[in-house]
């Protein structure tokens, strides 16, 4: 029998790895992937609580998180493409100013 | 059996997540991300969220990671990064300390509050004779209809924004008499 707290601890570990990666890495694409890891950690938590409390709301929230993540990735990658086209090989350190 | 599935899926999730952070090549990071997303889908199945598990595989692993790979290949940034030197001194120990402190707090909460309390079934029960898909669909198109319509507007805005951002700026047309 898998306890509920095990899922929560797994989710916490995944969130921690994603957050540390977001802080440490410099490549904007890899930073984006770390944000996806953190979103997935939150999704595991929502699904766990949905099952424990017998409430469909948790699963609906996960559905909306998926949609918003897809939209976020599309816009974010568009921004990254337009930045990298102007200055190839740019890292997150090179675009610290709000101007081209 | 339950525990075995959980342990294997958890190992895949955490190994893939570490691979995303550690591997110097962005292509390898994207492929490790697929492993993590698949493990999360297995956890969803174990938690009786069957529709979400299918959507996780189709949308995340099928669409989002492919989009990442397309951008990596199109921009030609699939070269390995130099990860052995820190660009900013002392950043990695600081990041590790912050991450471990956060992890400690959350795990403490999860262990201490072993009994999950809260209002049950505010917006409909998850268990019942209907399948997971039917319950989720009914809830989505009744209680959450406004949010559902708002996401459709969000998706349209995202598509338009992506097209505007990724468009090449037009060359100024030469004046000719």
Tens-digit pLDDT profile for residues A54-94: 888 889 999 999 999 999 999 998 888 888 887 777 777 77
- Looking up residue A56, the CATH number of its domain turns out to be 1.10.287.3510
Question: Hey, which residues does A55 pair with through a beta bridge?
Answer: B125
Token pair in block for residue A33: 């992937």
Q: How far is A79 from chain B (nearest CA, A)?
A: 6
Q: What is the extent of the structural domain holding A57?
A: 4-86
A96 touches chain B (CB under 8 A): no
Number of domains composing chain A: 1
- Chain A residues near residue B43 by CB distance under 8 angstroms: 7, 10, 44, 47
B102 touches chain A (CB under 8 A): yes
End-to-end CA distance of chain A: 55
B64 touches chain A (CB under 8 A): yes
Question: What tens digit of pLDDT does each residue of B149-166 get?
Answer: 999 999 999 999 998 888
* Closest Cα in chain A to B166: A78
**pTM for the predicted model, two decimal places:** 0.87
Q: Considering CB atoms only, which of A5, A70, A91 is closest to B59? A: A70
Residue A67 lies in a domain: yes
A59 touches chain B (CB under 8 A): yes
- Please classify residue A43 by burial: count the beta carbons closer than 10 Å to its beta carbon, then call 0-12 exposed, 13-18 middle and 19+ buried: buried
Please answer whether residues A65 and A39 qualify as being in contact, where contact means their C-beta atoms are separated by less than 8 angstroms. Answer: yes
Q: Of residues B169 and A29, which shows the higher confidence score?
A: A29
Question: Hey, which residues does B125 pair with through a beta bridge?
Answer: A55
- How many interchain CB pairs under 8 A, A with B? 240
Residue A93 lies in a domain: no
């Amino acid at each position: 029998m898998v306890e509920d707290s095990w899922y929560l601890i797994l989710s916490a570990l995944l969130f921690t790895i994603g957050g540390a990666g977001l802080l440490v890495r410099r490549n904007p694409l890899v930073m984006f992937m770390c944000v996806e890891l953190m979103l997935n950690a939150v999704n595991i938590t929502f699904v766990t609580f949905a099952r424990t409390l017998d409430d469909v709301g948790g699963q609906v929230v996960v559905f909306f998180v998926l949609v918003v993540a897809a939209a976020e990735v599309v816009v974010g990658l568009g921004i990254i493409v337009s930045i990298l086209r102007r200055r190839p090989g740019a890292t997150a350190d090179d675009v610290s100013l709000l101007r081209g | 059996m339950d525990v075995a599935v959980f342990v294997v899926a958890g190992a895949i999730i955490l190994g893939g997540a570490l691979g995303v952070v550690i591997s110097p090549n962005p292509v390898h990071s994207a492929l490790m991300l697929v492993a993590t997303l698949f493990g999360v889908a297995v956890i969803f199945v174990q938690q009786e969220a069957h529709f979400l598990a299918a959507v996780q595989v189709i949308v995340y692993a099928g669409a989002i990671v492919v989009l990442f790979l397309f951008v990596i290949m199109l921009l030609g940034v699939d070269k390995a990064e130099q990860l052995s030197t820190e660009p900013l001194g002392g950043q990695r120990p600081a990041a590790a300390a912050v991450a471990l402190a956060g992890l400690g707090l959350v795990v403490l909460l999860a262990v201490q509050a072993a009994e999950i309390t809260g209002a049950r079934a505010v917006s409909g029960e998850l268990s019942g004779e209907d399948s997971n898909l039917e319950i989720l669909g009914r809830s989505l198109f009744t209680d959450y209809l406004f949010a559902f319509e708002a996401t459709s507007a969000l998706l349209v805005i995202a598509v338009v924004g992506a097209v505007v951002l990724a468009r090449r700026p037009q060359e100024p047309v030469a004046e000719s008499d």
